[in-house]
Amino acid sequence: MTGRSDCIFCRIAAGAIPATIVREDEHTIAFRDLDPKAPLHVLVIPRGHIASINDIVDDDGPVLGALLLAARDVARSEGVAEAGYRLVVNTGAAAHQTVPHVHVHVLGGRDMSWPPG
């Protein structure tokens, strides 16, 4: 996994595009979504480029685990962990994945409807 110069999320991870960073570690970076769909809407991405869940390989397990741990930490630090929050991972065009870089949406701060689609 390496960054790609044509990927907006890789450029954010590299610091080439500004973002409101709320958390980062060696494997992940989390930042506020520019078009929030809930009072809390943070994106958690791997620092290295993985286009979609369809592109993960067995060796990506530690990075994918780090994504979920980072999402949990964002929910805790943003104060929505106890009330509840939603994690969303869109894969492919039919699911409305608009940026081809794996990312987890952390949504909270309001009641979430069901079903989500």
Q: What are the C-alpha distances in Å from 90 to residues 54, 77, 103? A: 11, 24, 8
DSSP 45-102: EESS----GGG--GGGHHHHHHHHHHHHHHHHHTT-TTT-EEEE---SGGGT--SSS-
Catalytic pick among 49, 101, 103, 105: 103
CB 101 within 8 A of CB 7: yes
Q: Which are the contacts of 97, defined by CB distance < 8 A and separation ≥ 6? A: 52, 90, 91
Has 96 been annotated as catalytic? no
Positions annotated as catalytic residues are 103
